[in-house]
Amino acid sequence: MARVTLKNLRHSYMPDPQGPDDFALKGLDVTWRDGGAYALLGPSGCGKSTLLNIISGLLTPSEGAILFDDEDVTQMTPDERHISQVFQFPVVYDTMTVRNNLAFPLKNRGVAPDRIKARVDEIAEMLEVTEMLDVRASNLSPDNKQKISMGRGLVRDDVNVIMFDEPLTVIDPHLKWKLRSKLKELHQRIKLTMIYVTHDQTEALTFADEVVVMQDGEVVQIGTPVELFERPQHTFVGHFIGSPGMNVLPCDAQGSHAIFEGHKVALEGAVTGHGGEVRLGIRPEHVRIGETGLPAQVIKISDVGRHFVVEVQIGESRLKVIVEGTAPTQGETVNVSFIPEKTRVYRNGWIATEVPK
């Protein structure tokens, strides 16, 4: 087990990269705590697989270093790094039985036969594939093959880190939830550093103690699910996490207020910085419809079961409001207010209000 540190990591797939656009990773400084359960979350193409392949040693970064505890492993081979990596699509030996597939990573490292058997049985039980142990892998369905692939990643107990690269893509939806909770359970038992890559916020938030959010080759925030929800450091995080995501609205900033559609709006703290593109960020959960506030017109109401998502128009802006209990009626004029402690401005995407005392 190890703490993994990425130092000023940059990577380009081009032989002669020029500007930032030529880099798939644009300068990452991240520390993954020993024993942590992490999710690496971001849209397709943001650099998640590139990052995993650099940690495992399949790729050498253009610049920067990777440390396991205090040891620089940047030039080490994948094998020397003692890492398990589970890929998006199954990697199994078709001609071998399930048992031999699971045993392979252990046999390869000269683990004693009785120890191998115990470990394979344990992993098989966890993944509910015990009855398939003597089946040839070629006869398995795609999701069972992927389960075996995950099992091969989990079977070694001498690894520094286990990494999963969108492992549930080919898995049936109802099985997904089950496997994810199994992984979480396993993590709680063995406390190995795990990095789970996904583009799905639900997967990330249910698996991880901490989520690393990436956008376009950069880390935009690292935090617990609660931190990402409560205080997004970037509009991207606010929008990407939450259902629906944070409202991001054009505004001006003035002292410790925002001017939104001609109205003065109180913020969590004083505004920092100058210039750039200024936006008001407020989650639908933190907007109230009541007796006082900005006049707004109700445009649309969606009943999503637990509550209503109400879309309102204020001047030129549209925003979403989560309403518990009774919903207003369409076309009605209502008053809308923002909880000041949850209302922030963002400058060029980044949070630009001071933390309240």
Q: Of the candidates 100, 79, 101, which has an alpha carbon nearest to the alpha carbon of residue 90?
A: 101
| Cβ–Cβ under 8 Å, residues 309 and 284 | yes
Q: From CA 236, how far away is CA 210, in angstroms rounded?
A: 17
How far, in whole angstroms, is CA 121 from its chain's centroid? 31
Q: How far apart are CA 137 and CA 90, in angstroms?
A: 11
Token pair 């109400």 is found at 310
Minimum CB separation from ligand ADP for residue 40, in Å? Answer: 8
Measured from the CB atom, the residue of 48 and 234 that comes closer to ligand ADP is 48
Amino acid at 112: A
Tokens describing residue 25 = 């990773």
CB of 83 to ligand ADP, least distance (A): 17
49 or 337: whose CB is closer to Mg ion?
49
Q: Helix, strand or coil for residue 325? A: coil
Burial class of 140 by CB neighbour count within 10 A (0 to 12, 13 to 18, 19+): buried
Q: Does 146 bind ligand ADP (CB under 6 A)?
A: no
Smallest gap, in angstroms, from Cβ of residue 86 to ligand ADP? 14
The Cα 9–Cα 66 span in angstroms is: 8
- What minimum distance in Å lies between the beta carbon of 116 and ligand ADP? 33
CB of 49 to Mg ion, least distance (A): 3
Query: Which of 140/214 has CB closer to ligand ADP?
Result: 214
Name which of 20 and 45 has its Cβ closer to Mg ion: 45
DSSP 259-273: EETTEEEE-SS-B-S
Nearest distance from C-beta of residue 23 to ligand ADP, angstroms: 9
- Which residues, 191 to 250, sit near ligand ADP by CB under 6 A? none
Is 49 or 201 the residue whose CB approaches Mg ion more closely? 49
Which parts of 50-79 interact with ligand ADP (CB under 6 A)? 50
Q: Which of 270, 286, 283 is nearest to 339 (CA)?
A: 286
Which residue, 24 or 296, is less far from ligand ADP as judged by CB?
Answer: 24
Cβ distance to ligand ADP smaller for residue 59 or 298? 59
> How many positions of this chain bind ligand ADP (CB under 6 A)?
10
The contact pattern for ligand ADP, residues 13-52, with x = CB under 6 A and - = no contact, is: x----------x-----------------x-xxxxxxx--
Buried b (16+ CB within 10 A) or exposed e, 10-28: bbbeeeebeeeeebbbbeb
Its sign, for the CA torsion 349, 353, 354, 355, is negative
Q: Please identify the residue of the shown chain whose CB is closest to the bound Mg ion.
A: 49
The partner in contact with residue 89, picked from Mg ion, ligand ADP, none with C-beta cut-offs of 5 to 8 angstroms by kind, is none
Residue 13's binding partner among Mg ion, ligand ADP, none (Cβ under 5 to 8 angstroms by kind) is ligand ADP
What type of residue is 288?
R
45 binds, among Mg ion, ligand ADP, none (CB under 5 to 8 A by kind): ligand ADP
Q: Closest separation between CB of residue 136 and ligand ADP, Å?
A: 31
- Per CB under 6 A, residues contacting ligand ADP are 13, 24, 42, 44-50
